[in-house]
Chains A and B, each alone.
Chain A
Amino acid sequence: MTTGNSSLQRVLTTLSHREPDRVPLFLLLTTHGAKELGLGIREYFSRPEYVAEGQLRLQRKFGHDCLYAFWYAAAELEAWGGSAIFYEDGPPNAGAPIFTSRSQIMAARRPQVTASPILQNILASIALMKQGVGDAAPIIGVVMSPFSLPVMQLGFENYFTLMADDKPALLHLLEANIAFCIEWANAQLAAGATAICYFDPVSSPTIVAAEWYRAWGLPASRQAQAAIKGPIAAHLASGRVLPLIDDLVNSGMSVVGVGALEDLREVKAACRDRISILGNLNGIAMTHWTPAEAENAVKKAIAQAAPGGGFILSDGHGEIPWQVSDEVLHAIVAATRRWGTYPLQAELTDGA
């Protein structure tokens, strides 16, 4: 970097809605760590040492501004007694739903974080990352929101049916999930995570109507926000977010993740000086970008959202696909340095 700013300082400055030395870049890489270590994806996620080493190497290689403690969403399902399905060339997926009847839902007991081998592994990886990076770069922990986790616990159809037809069972499940989410987030913060990314795509108007979000998604995120002892980024995993900005600000979120299909200029106008933006490069299109296309995309996002700070450049989903090449990642890094240095070049801010 040209100045003495550490990644953490750079991020904290932008989160206070001021312009740091340059736009912080979060390459939210997960399975790429396995490539770094020459391991298969399943093996990579079998030991905390591997994931920590993968993240440290990726951060050294690309010089981006965070370590990402996200293993995979289905890890939480595993903690609840379910399974994950592994692939050689993509992130693990959730195995079969764990609740197939109402009585199972009513009997649901949240798992203890301390008693879950997979969650303990993730915590151990965070502690190792912290040892490796100290306060130089933030470590981003991850939770599924209490309102989004049921998609894996029940399956989407049964979850919609529950929302439509069985509020008592729904509330029972959400209560257990809220308690779990809070405990899990705080355990990650205690292990060394700097902030929590709260994945809540089900709250997006892409997935549920406003009425259901207001009845359950919003109260759940308020409760989680109040009890999680660190800064939170609400991420709708590329579901639409614009109509929810006021709610996210009011519930005290620090950052909002924005998807690739959203109009970043409009989102910036709604967020400016109130909540920071994380986004919104298209991870799927990245798989076939040329370096020049990568540069254009970076330039465009910076022009739309970086003025005044309050912006961290990343992909729009919260995970860069396995298929994205190092060449494209290096091009994103180079373009961020070229176009993201503050004060932004006039070419970017004219007409903004």
Chain B
Amino acid sequence: MEVFLQALLSLDRETARRQMRLALSDTNPATAIETLLIPTMERIGALWEQGDVALSQVYMSGRICEGILDELLPVAETDEADNPQTIIAVFEDSHALGKRLVVSALRVARIPVQDYGLGVTLEELVKKVRQDRPQVLLISVLMLRSALRVAELVRQLEAMSERPYIIVGGAPFLLDAQLWRQVGADAMAANSAEVLRLLKSLGISAAKAERSVPL
């Protein structure tokens, strides 16, 4: 794992690919993802949180992992189309990177997610969530005003018989540790990979049908 981690952090795609192939020759794809990819993504997330790696490295390593997976283990077409229980949106503002990093972690872990996109307003989000009834709603914001509007979102979603579990993330929540509770979210993730642990605790994990390409 250490070699794989260092390869990702120094943007060495070739070594990362070789390490992944090695892992796949030892075990089945699901186990390789579970024991190599996911822990590595989580390590990188934690290292960013501590200030030991940069966001550029979080982003690039996510992309490298996605690339390797697409090449070595393409997902059967139908998986992505499965009605996902998890939805993600950039709420009220249009800053894409936080969501991109979370989606990257979810892709690597093979957790299907439906993406509502950027700048999703309060009204739109309430309407769509009522329609789609996801189990979990992931919200990314960058601006304080967007973070504060989560309070109104939660209030309006409370009217549903079973509202989704709401996980928020983004810079304002990192700068003010009590903000996520203040706006009534159910949880906050301090880095993009932490979403995997939170989803696991809710019983959401990888899509099953994994089709491996002969190595």
Give me the interface of A with B, judged by CB distance under 8 Å.
Answer: 85, 87, 89-91, 93, 155-157, 160, 163-164, 205-210, 212, 238, 240, 260-261, 282-285, 287-288, 321-323
Contacts and interface: CB of A to CB of B under 8 A. Distances in A.
Given A93-B143, A205-B54, A323 B148 contact: yes
Given A206-B54, A284-B179, 9 more contacts: A90-B144, A93-B94, A156-B59, A207-B55, A207-B56, A212-B54, A284-B175, A322-B145, A323-B145
B202 interface: no
B199 interface: no
B187 interface: no
Given A208-B54, A209-B54, A164 B60 contact: yes
Contacts, number: 70
A238 B175 contact: yes
Interface residues of B, number: 27
A206 B50 CA distance: 10
Contact of B56 (A155, A163, A260): A163
B175 A261 contact: yes
Q: Return the 8 tightest CB-CB contacts between A and B, nearest first.
A: A90-B145, A284-B176, A156-B97, A209-B54, A284-B175, A208-B56, A285-B176, A208-B54
Contact of B144 (A155, A240, A260, A284): A284
Contact of A321 (B94, B95, B96, B144): B144
Contact of A212 (B56, B144, B176): B56
A322 B143 CA distance: 11
A217 to B, nearest CB: 11
B17 interface: no
Contacts of B51: 205-206, 240
Interface string B129-157: 00000000000000111001000000000
A283 B57 CA distance: 27
